[in-house]
Amino acid sequence: MPAPQDPVKYAEWVKNMSLSRKGRTSPMKGKNHSKETILKMKGHQPWNKGKKGEVKNPESRIRIWFQRLDQRIPRKKETSLMISEKVKGVKNGFYGKKHSDDSIKKMRNYRLGKTPWNKGVRGYKNGPSSQRRKELISLANKGRKRTKEFSELISKMKKERYANNPKSHPNYGKHHKKETCEKIREGNIGKTPWNKGKTGVYSKETLNRMRLAHNDEKYKQSMREKHKNWKIPFKDSKPERMMQIALALNGIKFEKHKSFKLGKSYHRVDIFIEPNICLEVDGIHWHLEDEDVKRDLFVNQELTIMGYHIIRIRDYDIIKNTQNCAETVIKLINELKYGVRLF
């Protein structure tokens, strides 16, 4: 009986063919091909090689329709369990073998531009993976370590992939949440960094890229913008606290560590008083060298151009004679604030 052309009737015909063959023993069961036959088959060219279009061979059509039916109709759980039980303990035909480089390239080129079947799908075809399955996978992978060769291969492949198209990286343009950052920080407490005490970890090319990245003006500007609101030092010095108390007792409102943009960088004054008075408490350790003096002069010049008044006082003088220093500073502040000279 010829195969019907209608797809629905064809599917029924295939099922009937399958049922009719059930119980029959294959003529090749328990037999093997001879060496001569195997040698003859090795050089044989398939009849359909290079041909395109609908396959006219009835047996091939049956095989193709079975494949299509498998794609449309999912297997029953009983059938899947039965197949699983039969296959248990049997090694895969490809066990211990590897694809050649040519085969890998061919497969990669074939898949280019095609959407993966599991894109946007979570879990298995029949639904998301159960908690039990996740636990089993976790236990199976526990204690396993990648070989150096395998790790290097993955690293090389990722570098090649993301070097040509950085936006394809899953974390491109994303940032960790504050909660995630806190968890990472807590997880790393007490752990020794992997590169501590090691030299030659990074290649010369990587080090050059890192240097170029740090010298990039955009990077520097972004870091300045991030650091402008940082409170450095994290704790006020004793002379600064003494001046803050003196101002508060005299009813003068002030703001600590206010940030000003001077050229490309930012500068924080120790105490700022509205509308335009900056009070700097200079420590001997940080304001003694020639470079420190030059920096202070640059800050004074820039703030003066912007219309601010700068009062500088040494921390040593505050500790040595607190009352006289406080009175002098408050007198200067009132003169600058109200524009009246007080005797």
Q: What's the structural domain count of the chain?
A: 1
Query: Is 244 inside a domain boundary?
Result: yes
Strands (DSSP E) found in the chain = 255-262, 265-273, 277-282, 309-314
SS3 category, 314: strand
**Rounded distance, CA 207 to CA 205, Å?**
5
pLDDT at 87 over 50: yes
Query: Is 79 inside a domain boundary?
Result: no
> Alpha carbon of 134 to those of 30, 73, 83, 89, 315: distances in Å?
41, 26, 22, 22, 63
Beta-carbon neighbour count of residue 231 at 10 Å?
Answer: 11
CA 194 to chain centre: 18
Span 227-285, pLDDT tens digits: 766 666 667 888 888 989 999 998 989 998 888 888 878 888 889 998 889 999 988 77
Domain that holds residue 316: 232-338
More confident call, 254 vs 90: 254
Per the CB < 8 A criterion, the answer to whether 17 and 62 are in contact is: yes
Query: Is 286 inside a domain boundary?
Result: yes
**What's the CATH number where 272 sits?**
3.40.960.10
Q: What is the mean pLDDT of residues 156-181?
A: 85
- Beta strand pairing status for 309-314 and 255-262? unpaired
Query: Is 316 inside a domain boundary?
Result: yes
Per the CB < 8 A criterion, the answer to whether 254 and 295 are in contact is: no
Closest C-alpha among 234, 291, 227 to residue 259: 227
Span 101-137, pLDDT tens digits: 888 888 888 888 888 777 766 655 455 566 777 787 7
Span 184-234, pLDDT tens digits: 988 888 888 888 888 877 888 888 888 887 777 777 777 777 776 666 666
Query: Is 209 inside a domain boundary?
Result: no
Closest C-alpha among 329, 304, 301 to residue 240: 329
Query: Is 36 inside a domain boundary?
Result: no
Query: Is 189 inside a domain boundary?
Result: no
Query: Is 67 inside a domain boundary?
Result: no
